[in-house]
Structure 1
Amino acid sequence: MSSVSIGNGRIEYKFFYSKDVPLSAEAVALEGRQNESARMALFPHRIPVVEIMAAGRGEGHWITSTRLVQTSLGASLRVSSVESREDKDASYCNIHMNSEQYGLQAVLHFTLFHNANALRASVDITNTWNDSLVLESVTSFSASFGTTLGNGKTDFSSWASYECTNECIGEGRWAKTPVRRLCPALHPELSQRDPQGCHAVFSEGTFSTGTSSPVGVLESERLNMAWVFQIENNGGWRWEFGEDRADGYFALSGPTWRNNTWSRTLGKDETFSTVPVSICFGADFHEAMAGLTRYRRAVRSQMGRSSFPMIIFNDYMNTINGDPTTEKLLPLINQAADLGVEVFCVDCGWYDDSGDWWPSVGEWKPSTTRFPHGLREVIDRIKDKGMIAGLWLEPESVGIESPVASQLPDEAFFLHDGKRMVEQKRLMLDYRNPMVIDRMNSIVDGLIDEYGVGYFKFDFNIRPGSGTTHAADSSGDGLLEHGRAYLRWIDSLYAKHPGLIIENCSAGGGRTDFAQASHFQLLSTSDQQDYRLYPVISTAAPMTMLPEQAGNWAYPERDMNAEQFAFALCNTMIGHYFLSGYVNTFSEWQNNMVRESIEAYNKEVAPHIVQSEPFWPLGMPAWDSQKVSFGLKDGNSVIVAVWGRNAAEKTTVLPIPGAAGHDASIDVLFPRSLEVNSWAPHWNRELGALTVDVPEREFRARIFSLSLK
């Protein structure tokens, strides 16, 4: 019997193997816990970390199953060697495994950053036989739910799952569900066989978060255990959990044949690398999410990325809506600068002469009819006002009415059996093709060199299917490699243009996965234009990205009263400040409230948000929750936002993680220009909670700052 561990002083992950047993989780230890039973999680039920399905090799599942696990190839892997090392950022462990029985090798790569609880995992699979190996799924990580040292036995029924459902303009709809509702008690011990099914969540096509999220949470309040995990891919993925006769299990994978039409054929000595996943263990939901947040910052820091928040104005939402002209833009630019905006982004339509910008994308030459004196007049005005000039691009799309559609050959686009895939009058470029890279480099370089653009909003709006079959073993394989090539291109832009800011927008929030978030400074979270619905989206965003990356829109409008106006501004102040609207038509008090919001954000939010840990005092909100709350905790400095949405009751208790027994001072962060006495904020020392009276039957919001003592 042998074991291998990887730790950092905060947490230790330990894995078990032998000459007869594949590698599986053995224990997780949380350091610094006084209660021994609360700090140690055990895994008496062994689930192979790496599970593999392949055509023509092995025996498939060793029980009829729709799962990622219980595979004969996974069960056949044996550890051959272990390599460990450390550097200033992290500890690393590479575990080499082989299956002599089925002719393949696997190398499992673990990374544990020094300041985070999250373990990153990926797998390299190599075919060692002359016969081809057709991969259909490979887990980057699998484990049983586990139990505590004091409990001594598993307790599947005590667990609950957090899962997110997404829709364009309806992102971030999280729900907490007992696992027993998703995996009913079937009493498999009577038939002496495990259930065949599981609860699976997966992506569809080019929108990695278009329907669901590659982030999930499993929590047992009774056992004081929580897992949070994410799959780091901008294309296909699948996560699942289920139950067998011994315990629950969860498994994380990139694209699969079953769900994403993915397969990869390996000849002798060829290797495939899975997408990375990250797994974070904690005593509860908030501790696990705090660990994942620290992990995300650590990854971006190692990549040389940062996301210090700036004040950004974009002319699209509830404003120009894709119909920019010099006449419309100049008054907005002047007023945005006067309010303190730092980046002014001209959104879609700036390249279109026809009046129908959607099918004409792809050439990226400024319109001459929209800008009679040239786009330079607009860009120069932005820069003359002391702001960074931004432009919208959709670099993966070409409209069928664009000249580029006929200039580029078929192989530059996504193809299905040699035919171009068309979706909503758009074609999708294939970034595996060097011709595509060269063309887009010339476009981006030209806009930067000629106009001095310092900010790009990269959008993506089409769903042409599961991928491309051109030069790929499967359509899902084509999509996976396109997504990887696209992110390499993004990295090349940063290397060539230091200081360039790139925002990721994918039809609002269609690709808010960590593969995208790790590369971009900020991400749009939605195209939702109803300010009353946005709080749920704003508060859900840090589940999939860092708080400082979350571009949550603020849509203040001239016909709003003061409370509605403040509500709209609160939506953006807990993320990366993102403003739109006809600011040039605002009244004096409205402009003053925007200035108040920006000043509070710059002085009291921005310095803390970049090192804060998110928390949800009322839990993850439902889409129709009458009360929504979100917090940012940076040591003893705490920011708590509260929205009342036609609430039926007033008194609301907002617990702060780790604050019980502490004193606290309370201040109103925003809006200070409106009354706050009716909210009656006060501190409950025993509970470590802020208590407020949310106004009933109204739409109102406040952001409070607390200093713990």
Structure 2
Amino acid sequence: MPDIRLKRGISLLKQLLSEFTLNDMKLEYWMQPSSQQVGLLLLPVHLAEKVDVAKEYAVDPLIQVKLIGDDYPGGFSQGKTMRNSQSVLGFKYDSQYVMEDEKGKHIVTLLKNDRKHIIEHKLSYYPEFAACEVGTTFINQNTEAVQLEMLSSFSMGGMTPFRAGDTPASLVLHRMRSKWSNEGRLETLAIEDLQLEPSWAKFGVQSERFGQVGSMPVRGYFPWAAIEDTKMNIIWAAQLAHAASWQMEVYRRDDAICLSGGLADREFGHWVKTLKPNERLVSPKAYLTVAEGHIDQVAQRLTAIQAKALSRIPEVEKDLPIIFNEFCTTWGNPSHDNISNIAKKLEGKGITYLVIDAGWYIEEGKSWESNMGDWNVSPQLFPQGLEATIQEIRKNGLIPGIWFELETCGPLADSYARTEHLLHRDGIPITSGARRFWDFKDPYVVEYLTEKVIRFIQKYEFGYLKIDYNETIGIGCDGVESMGEGLRQQMEAVEAFLQKMQKEIPELVIENCSSGGHRLEPSMMGLTSMASFSDAHEELEIPIIAANLHRAILPRQSQIWAVLRKTDSLHRLTYSMVNTFLGRMCLSGDIYDLEEEQWKVIDEGIRFYKKISTIIKEGFSYRYGPTINSYRHPEGWQAVMRVSSDRSQVLVIFHTFGGHLPEQIDIQLPFDGTYVIDSIYSEDQQRIKLQEGMLVYHTQGEFHAAAVLLASV
């Protein structure tokens, strides 16, 4: 056992087991000698000496786990939390070791109980990122099976360690709420408003458990949370990478707050998992960080580490090329004639991908929403065959793309009746609205979709695949020991199919779409080049949602639509084009019918986007402006500053909404440096000035937008 030292004279209730300095973060592993429990405390390095050594609180265990048969926790907790049960108390510290490789450092902590169950907690750190990657493995070395009904990916405690006592009026929870076409709304709540103050007798436990149940992981909340000490300006933040049901918990039983997250447990997510002798279960990965600063700054420490998975992205994606998706042009009725006309209109416009969206498989008497699953090219829409259409796309210098909703079947498709290959609940095919779901654990389904999707893409040489997903499986499915475990295995198998596709077509660009933004979490983002940011395709709130997502995903992966209408004024077209500068540009709409003056606005926007693509790809974002209350009827303004990694360029994107507006908006650069205006995209460039390090925008009225590129001198 490693040497255990006292920490700066702190109470004997806990002792320092080990500590690691990882760039600007300090990791401290603490042990409670009486219970042999080990916990994790994250600190900014430069503030580690400001920890209040007199503060007393229990070590929060590294792992939260619950085994069926063990006692449940007390303190009025059943139905509210499963944390700190008898199972957790049974796991004692065994050992800790460090591995290093060319990528980074890996700290492995082993916990064991007296029933030959082992938990491996692995924390990995990569020097180029300011966050840690954490995961849990449960190993059953007993001769009998064990049933789990809870397993966390991470748990960290000690918040806040900078002052003694329960630190009233200083701690807040940040989380991101989400619903269809209204993604990523930041919610900030005082710990007191969540009733997470300790009781007068320190009896009973308080828990705020939240998450998502189903196969749309960003529905209700993003798998993301942060605790802020507002007096010290310190934020601890965490993000889960999981495409199925998940949960996070803010928990309190004494003077410190704890935050944990992982698989949705039995109470929350209908999950039980049986592990036979010598079987193991690996939890979803989580990302953790701590830093001094604003929530936007700390959140981007988590998004940055998502770039680790992007080494597999096809070469064509390196410059963040522009997409044209025809859905808001044909509305589910693509044909050889209209796709060919679109391709001709786009020739030489600087657009790379032309995506054929839903409807290409329509059969006589069947709509695009009701016929997913059979995936036969429509002879009515493509009488010359799809080859002729693809040829027209490529002839005009574009890469063809295609839409699939490959996980589901529509009610008028033959595949809808192949119930032996679909997911069931209670012995009945799961029917959610107008969709049923393929069982990806079934070899038949993998073979069928390999032929219908992978071979189809190879045959027609598509370079781009949009994967949509427009319903949720819900609590789970039959076939294994619990509904939640059935769902976990289903989504694990879906991701395995995507990996198979990447392996067989490595040059394929894949878009992750789920009714817009229902799958904006790291595991799905790591398997795709980009994601649809939202389905708010033509709405005034687009820039609000797009700015929100800078906290959750990389802007280089956030595909933002500008739907161009022949009825649009020039200032409306400018507004729509500026929206796309907050991520990846995707165009759609009435491109046959636009006037020359309208095309000038669009062409200028395309040129500006190409100038700023390097900042979108590698940079850091700052948001300015008042909180926007109503997204459907927004009032006020916002500005987003995106700074290149080397600070040689600064992009500032302005949007005004409704209501009372200031005559001018002043933006101060958050760092030293001398800059000049390189270029402006705006209706009236004279309204933007750079004066002594202050960027000034003289507003033009409601629902206007402008973008400015600054260059260092």
Normalising by structure 1, report the TM-score: 0.91
**Local SS of the residue matching 1:259:** helix
Residue of structure 2 equivalent to 1:47: 60
**Local SS of the residue matching 1:198:** strand
CA–CA distance in structure 1, aligned partners of residues 389 and 36 of structure 2: 63
1:631-642 to structure 2, matched below 5 A, reads 631-634=641-644, 635-636=646-647, 637-642=649-654
Is 62-71 or 534-543 further displaced after alignment?
Answer: 62-71
Residue of structure 2 equivalent to 1:458: 467
CA–CA distance in structure 1, aligned partners of residues 628 and 499 of structure 2: 35
1:257 shift after superposition = 1.2
1:424 shift after superposition = 2.3
CA–CA distance in structure 2, aligned partners of residues 73 and 469 of structure 1: 27
Change (3 A) 1:188 1:443: same
Residue of structure 1 equivalent to 2:176: 164
1:213 matched to 2:210 = no
Residue of structure 2 equivalent to 1:124: 137
Give the root-mean-square deviation of aligned CA atoms: 2.6
CA–CA distance in structure 2, aligned partners of residues 7 and 68 of structure 1: 32
2:407 to 389, 396, 399: 396
CA contact (8 A) 1:344 1:388 kept: yes
1:668 shift after superposition = 4.4
CA contact (8 A) 2:371 2:410 kept: yes
1:283 shift after superposition = 0.6
Residue of structure 1 equivalent to 2:102: 88
How many residues in Structure 1 have an aligned counterpart in Structure 2?
Answer: 688
1:702 matched to 2:702 = no
Residue of structure 1 equivalent to 2:372: 361
1:162 shift after superposition = 2.1
Residue of structure 2 equivalent to 1:381: 392
1:98 shift after superposition = 0.3
Residue of structure 2 equivalent to 1:321: 331
1:297-696 to structure 2, matched below 5 A, reads 297-301=307-311, 308-317=319-328, 319-354=329-364, 355-406=366-417, 408=418, 410=420, 412-470=421-479, 472-603=480-611, 605-618=612-625, 621-622=628-629, 623=631, 624-634=634-644, 635-636=646-647, 637-650=649-662, 651-657=664-670, 659=671, 661-671=672-682, 674-678=683-687, 680-683=688-691, 685=693, 690-696=695-701
Tell me the amino acid that sits aligned with residue 339 of structure 2.
L
1:253-292 to structure 2, matched below 5 A, reads 253-284=262-293, 285-292=295-302
Deviations 1:306-341 (A, max 9, x none): 764110000113x21111122322221211223221
Residue of structure 1 equivalent to 2:8: none
CA–CA distance in structure 2, aligned partners of residues 16 and 616 of structure 1: 37
1:99 matched to 2:113 = yes
CA–CA distance in structure 2, aligned partners of residues 228 and 684 of structure 1: 36
Change (3 A) 1:533 1:483: same
CA–CA distance in structure 1, aligned partners of residues 52 and 467 of structure 2: 44
Change (3 A) 1:587 1:36: farther
CA–CA distance in structure 1, aligned partners of residues 711 and 58 of structure 2: 45
CA–CA distance in structure 1, aligned partners of residues 472 and 314 of structure 2: 31
1:583 shift after superposition = 1.1
CA–CA distance in structure 2, aligned partners of residues 684 and 263 of structure 1: 62
CA–CA distance in structure 2, aligned partners of residues 21 and 703 of structure 1: 58
1:161 shift after superposition = 2.1
Deviations 1:237-275 (A, max 9, x none): 011213332122211122221121111122333222111
CA contact (8 A) 1:22 1:48 kept: no
CA–CA distance in structure 1, aligned partners of residues 558 and 152 of structure 2: 29
1:174 matched to 2:206 = no
CA–CA distance in structure 2, aligned partners of residues 68 and 279 of structure 1: 22
CA contact (8 A) 2:41 2:158 kept: no
Tell me the amino acid that sits aligned with residue 165 of structure 1.
R
1:520 shift after superposition = 0.5
**Local SS of the residue matching 2:621:** strand
Q: What percent of counterpart residues are identical? A: 19
1:454 shift after superposition = 0.9
1:246 to 255, 260, 270: 255
1:35 shift after superposition = 9.5
CA–CA distance in structure 1, aligned partners of residues 626 and 208 of structure 2: 23
Change (3 A) 1:531 1:386: same
Residue of structure 1 equivalent to 2:11: none
* Residue segments in structure 2 that go unaligned for 5+ positions in a row: 5-15
Tell me the amino acid that sits aligned with residue 169 of structure 1.
S
1:29 shift after superposition = 4.3
CA contact (8 A) 1:307 1:549 kept: no
* Residue segments in structure 1 that go unaligned for 5+ positions in a row: none
Deviations 1:491-515 (A, max 9, x none): 1211111211010100111111111
Change (3 A) 1:35 1:145: closer
Deviations 1:587-630 (A, max 9, x none): 11211221111111112x21222221222223774433521222
1:127 shift after superposition = 3.0
